[in-house]
Structure 1
Amino acid sequence: MTTRRHLLQAAAAGAATIALPSHAQAGWPKQPITLIDPFPAGGNTDYFSRLLADRLGPLLGTQVVVENKAGGGGLIGATHVARAKADGYTLGLASVSTLCAGPAVHPPSNVRYDPQKDFSYISKLVTVPSLMVTNNKMPVASFKELVALARTKPGRISIGIPGIGSAGHVLTEYLMRLADVRLLLVPYKSGGVMLNDLIAGQLDVLSTNIPELLPHVKTGAIRALAVRDMRRVSALPDIPTYAELGLAEVSQPLWFGLVAPAGVPEPILAKIRAATHKAMVDRVFLDKTLAVSASVSPSSGPEFRADAGALLARLREVVRTAGIKPD
């Protein structure tokens, strides 16, 4: 399960290049840096964008300003980053939605960037586990019981998703394919409405980030079935991961990372990466990461690019076989 000790170990392992490179581009930075968050203020990405920006600025010797450019499931903000000048003064908060699910679902005419070619990959930042839950009217106490029931009622047990073509939609299709089960997909525009419907018994199942669900699980308003992470989370030590349930392919948690436009000089990228890794071992960063059941996940640029590319390929196959079309 995830603990502060695990976070410290992960951060230390990924921060071997923690000293800022002395050979970085002379005089850089000379002006403030803009960190583009492709989702609305107040959300999960915004939480980590601002947590990082507050620590990155002092380490780089300039102000790092978060700018939310929401819309299109993150595609608008990501496009802005891809088209920005490659001078290191525009960075982007990247996610599974912007680098994998969005490009997998939408045709090239709607995604005006190549997720593998149009970005400089700096580092993964954090992994964020999610939780599958059900309402208390459902006669199941485990994920295996849910699957068994759903196989007797194909397409009749409802599961909420955050919009057609969203990362949540694609990952739910992936889960159903691996578990050999068919649920009724119910798209929502609001996560709050989706959760309220679940608690009221109007929706059978949903899966979303743990912080939104944990208080309701603790009060017994809803029932936890499975965790999307590679280890159990400390707040719910009795709830198994998908990997433990034989579904390792969908047990990898969602992640957020840091990118820049393609073509940023390597000395500047190295300086940003080193400062980012140093920010991630800051005690406040670690504590606030653990507070939302997330884990730090520092990486090299090539590692981050390879992981995103592999997931993109898998999700494109899911989209093809499931016939998913953008909303």
Structure 2
Amino acid sequence: MRFKAGTVRRRGVIAGLSAIAMVGAPAFAQAWPSQPIRLIVPFAPGGTTDLVARLIAQGLGERLGQPVIIENRAGAGAMVGSEFVARAAPDGHTLVMSNIASHAISPSLYPANTVRYDAVRDFTHVALVTSNPSVWVAHRGAGITDLATLRARATAAPQGLDVASSGAGSSNHLLIVQLAQLAGIDLHHVPFRGAGPAMTAVIAGQVPLMSDSLPSAAAHIRGGSVRAIAMCSAERHPSFPEVATFREQGVDLVCDSWFGLSGPAGLPAAIVAKLNAEVRAVLATADVRARYAEFGGTPGTLDAAGFTRFVAEEFARWAPVVRASGAEAG
């Protein structure tokens, strides 16, 4: 069989490029990171996502030899910051703290025409960082000490009882809707642009209650600035054994929030492998494990493939829950 010269040349070029790609992939990974890494936190400073991000960023920066810079881009149930990363160049220098809001709940909670990314296809999911239960806290002067007094206050309130959260689309928003349905009470969701501003409002008495992730609430509970009234875990949390669960108080409400590291789709496999290994190495250090344990988080152990499956499963799990709850963004 005879080939035209142009065909042979083209095939030679293609073969050459393939060889370069095979040789160049490890070199690309070795050269990465060649500049500071931007870690987008899709919530305001002071909340659990921000707290988890800053802790992992410090260790990663030390191990990678480049600073990992936190950039808060809040809005639309964590979708503003997540969309920014989905559109970024897949070179490993722009990452996002993916979470249960941005990749499991918000895409189903917001109108379809406002959701501009696919939670699985438009990202490279690298590593699960930590998971933790939610906890409900009350202003010290609100007179709410447990689920029974919460029910009594909600029943007596003509317009329902206000409950703050880190924002529409968060798991804590959905927990407010679910508790109202399960307990048969009127709860009014008050969304903030992050857990930090929401907690400040509760401490000041502007809102009597908050549904929050345990890490961002832990220091305030220990310091006595708010009162913990119920934990959304299957059993009492070892770091807060004095806080009864919702199940113990008659309502079957259990929820774990999770936080991971993700990048744009198409992130080179060598970078994904290196980044996953470095995240797991940071999570294995004694000081980081102790810090996560202090605020109630459990470090993740999944590889990139496992975390990708996990995100897909979480999206599939929460989509029907959002629809059944009737919850809406805002």
Backbone CA RMSD of aligned residues = 3.4
Distance 1:91 1:221 in 2: 34
Q: 1:169 aligns with which of 170, 173, 187?
A: 173
- 1:323 pairs with 317, 322, 326, which one? 326
Residue 297 (str. 1) matches residue 300 (str. 2):
yes
Residue 195 and residue 275 in structure 1: after superposition, are their counterparts in 2 closer, same or farther (change >3 A)? closer
Aligned to 1:252: 255
By how many angstroms is 1:254 displaced? Answer: 1.0
Q: Which runs of 5+ in 1 are unaligned?
A: 1-22
Question: Of 84, 90, 94, which residue of structure 2 is paired with 1:86?
Answer: 90
Q: Unaligned stretches of 5+ in structure 2?
A: 1-22
The residue that corresponds to 1:99 in the other structure is: 103
**Partner SS state of residue 113, structure 1:** coil
Q: CA deviation at 1:222?
A: 4.5
1:39 matches 2:39 = no
**Partner SS, residue 129 of structure 1:** strand
Shift of the 157–115 alpha-carbon distance from structure 1 to 2, 3 Å rule, reads same
Residue 230 of structure 2 contacts residue 246 of structure 2 at CA under 8 Å; is this kept in 1? yes
- Find the residue that maps to 1:109 and give its secondary structure: helix
The Cα shift of 1:78 comes to: 1.1
| Structure 1 residue identity aligned to 2:26 | A
Counterpart Cα distance in 1 of 2:218 and 2:58? 27
Q: Who is 1:127 aligned against?
A: 131
Counterpart Cα distance in 1 of 2:204 and 2:309: 42
Please report the TM-score for the alignment, with normalisation by the length of structure 1: 0.76
Using the TM superposition, give the Cα deviation of residue 326 of structure 1 relative to its aligned residue in structure 2, in angstroms: 2.7
**1:152-301 correspondence runs (5 A):** 156-177=160-181, 179-189=182-192, 194-195=198-199, 198=202, 203-210=207-214, 213-214=217-218, 217-218=221-222, 222-242=226-246, 250-301=253-304
- The number of residues matched between the two structures is 302
* C-alpha displacement of 1:130: 2.7
Of residues 111, 114, 119, the one that matches 1:110 is 114
Question: Contact between 1:35 and 1:64, CA under 8 Å: does it hold in 2?
Answer: no
CA contact 2:219–2:295 (8 Å) conserved in 1:
no
Give the corresponding residue for 2:73: 70
Identity %: 28
Matches of 2:184 and 2:229, distance apart in 1:
16
Change (3 A) 1:288 1:193: closer
Superposed CA offset, 1:245-294 (max 9, x none): 5766x423211101122222333322211111111111222222223232
Distance 1:58 1:134 in 2: 38
Q: What is the CA–CA distance in structure 2 between the aligned matches of 1:214 and 1:57, rounded to whole Å?
A: 26
CA-CA distance at 1:227 after TM superposition: 1.2
TM-aligned CA deviation for residue 182 of structure 1: 2.9
Deviation for aligned residue 1:115: 0.1
Amino acid at match of 1:46: D
* Distance in 2 separating the partners of 1:39 and 1:124: 18
Give the SS at the match of 1:280.
helix
Q: Deviations over 1:57-89 (max 9, x none)?
A: 3434x4142241413232222112212233333
- How many angstroms apart in 2 are the aligned matches of 1:200 and 1:89? 39
**2:114 partner SS:** coil
- Write out per-residue CA displacement over residues 192-238 of structure 1, whole angstroms, 9 at most, x where no aligned residue: 66546655766443221345545654566654221123443344212
Distance 1:287 1:241 in 2: 23
Q: Which has the larger radius of gyration?
A: 2
Structure 1 distance, partners of 2:323, 2:306, is 26
Give the 3-state SS of the residue equivalent to 2:26 in structure 1.
Answer: coil
TM-score, L = length of structure 2: 0.75
Distance in 1 (alpha carbons) for counterparts of 2:44 and 2:144: 35
Using the alignment, how far apart are the partners of 1:283 and 1:162 within structure 2? 30
Can you list the C-alpha shifts for 1:277-318, whole angstroms capped at 9, x where unaligned? 111111222222223232212212343233333332343323
- Paired residue secondary structure (1:236): coil
Q: Distance in 2 between matches of 1:125 and 1:65?
A: 15
In structure 1, the partner of 2:311 is 308
Q: Deviations over 1:136-181 (max 9, x none)?
A: 666665335645775788973432334444443223223434x242
Q: In 2, distance between residues paired with 1:56 and 1:196?
A: 30
